[in-house]
Amino acid sequence: MSNILHVSLSCIESILHEPATLSKPNKRWHLAFAIIYCSRAFHSLLNKKNMKTSKLPLSTPSFVVLNVEPHLAFSNIEHTSLTEVVKKKNLDQLREFGGVAGVADALKTNAKNGIHGDVEDIARRQEVFGSNTYPRPPAKSFFYFVLEAFKDLTILILLACATLSLGFGIKEHGLKEGWYDGGSIFVAVFLVISVSAVSNFRQNRQFEKLSKVSNNIKVEVVRDGHRQQISIFEIVVGDVVCLKIGDQVAADGLFLDGHSLQVDESSMTGESDHVEVNCHHNPFLFSGTKVADGFGQMLVTSVGMDTTWGEMMSTVSRDLNEETPLQARLNKLTSSIGKVGLAVAFLVLVVLVVRYFTGNTEDENGNQEFNGGKTKANDIVNAMVRIIAAAVTIVVVAIPEGLPLAVTLTLAYSMKRMMADQAMVRKLSACETMGSATTICTDKTGTLTLNQMKVTKYWIGKEPVEDSSSIDTHVLKLIQQGVALNTTGSIYRAASGSEIEFSGSPTEKAILSWAVLELDMDMEAIKQNYSILHVEAFNSEKKRSGVLMREKADNKIHVHWKGAAEMILAMCSSYYDASGSIKSLDDGERMTFEQIIQGMAASSLRCIAFAHKQIPKEDQEISESRQKLKEDSLTLIGLVGIKDPCRPGVRKAVEDCQYAGVNVRMITGDNVFTARAIATECGILRPDQDMNGEAVVEGEVFRNYTPEERMEKVDKIRVMARSSPFDKLLMVQCLKQKGHVVAVTGDGTNDAPALKEADIGLSMGIQGTEVAKESSDIIILDDNFSSVATVLKWGRCVYNNIQKFIQFQLTVNVAALVINFVAAVSAGEVPLTAVQLLWVNLIMDTLGALALATEKPTKELMKKPPVGRTEPLISNIMWRNLLAQALYQIAILLILQFKGESIFGVSEKVNDTLIFNTFVLCQVFNEFNARKLEKKNVFKGLHKSKLFLGIIGITIILQVVMVEFLKKFANTERLNWGQWGVCIGIAAACWPIGWVVKSIPVSEKPFLSYLKW
State the pairing for strand pair 572-576/634-643.
parallel
Structure letter (DSSP) for residue 513: H
Beta strands in 41-180 (DSSP E): none
Give the residue from 785, 764, 783, 786 showing the smallest Cα distance to 773: 764
Amino acid at 844: M
Give the residue from 410, 417, 326 showing the smallest Cα distance to 787: 417
Q: At a CB cut-off of 8 Å and minimum separation 6, what does 856 contact? A: 417, 797, 944, 945
- Give the CA radius of gyration of the chain: 38
DSSP, residue by residue, 268-300? HH---SPEE--SSS--EE-TT-EEEEEEEEEEE
Q: What share of the chain is helix, strand, coil (3-state, %, to 5)?
A: 55, 15, 30
Q: Are 519 and 600 spatial neighbours (Cβ–Cβ below 8 Å)?
A: no
Packing angle between helix 876-904 and helix 990-997, nearest 10 degrees? 150
d(CA 269, CA 255): 19
Q: For Cα atoms 787, 792, 796, give the angle at the middle one, nearest 5 degrees.
A: 145
Q: Is 661 exposed, middle or buried (0-12, 13-18, 19+ CB in 10 A)?
A: middle
Please report which helix (H) or strand (E) contains residue 844, including its range: none
Q: At a CB cut-off of 8 Å and minimum separation 6, what does 501 contact? A: 226, 227, 491, 492, 493, 494
Q: 587-605 burial, b for 16+ CB within 10 Å, e for fewer?
A: eebbeebeebbbebbeebb
* Phi (first) and psi of residue 781, to 5 degrees: -70, -30
d(CA 270, CA 1005): 50
Q: Is 203 exposed, middle or buried (0-12, 13-18, 19+ CB in 10 A)?
A: buried
Helices (H), ranges, 358-447: 377-398, 402-420, 428-433
Structure letter (DSSP) for residue 58: P
* Residues in the chain, overall count: 1013
- Tell me if residue 443 is catalytic: yes
Q: Which of 443, 690, 751, 759 is catalytic?
A: 443
d(CA 429, CA 761): 11
Q: Are 661 and 868 spatial neighbours (Cβ–Cβ below 8 Å)?
A: no
- What count of Cα atoms within 13 Å lies in the side-chain half-sphere of residue 616? 4
Q: 324-334 burial, b for 16+ CB within 10 Å, e for fewer?
A: bebbebbeebb
Write out 588-643 in H/E/C secondary structure. Answer: HHHHHHHHHHHHHHHCCEEEEEEEEEEECHHHHHHHHHHCCCCCCCEEEEEEEEEE
d(CA 220, CA 298): 11
Give the residue from 812, 810, 807, 796 showing the smallest Cα distance to 878: 807
- What count of Cα atoms within 13 Å lies in the side-chain half-sphere of residue 2? 0
Across the strands, what pairs with 297?
Answer: 242, 257
- What count of Cα atoms within 13 Å lies in the side-chain half-sphere of residue 867? 21
Q: How far, CA to CA in Å, does 822 sit from each of 209, 359, 394, 400, 895?
A: 49, 19, 13, 21, 12
C-alpha 574: how far from chain center:
50
Packing angle between helix 977-988 and helix 908-929, nearest 10 degrees? 40
Catalytic residue set:
443
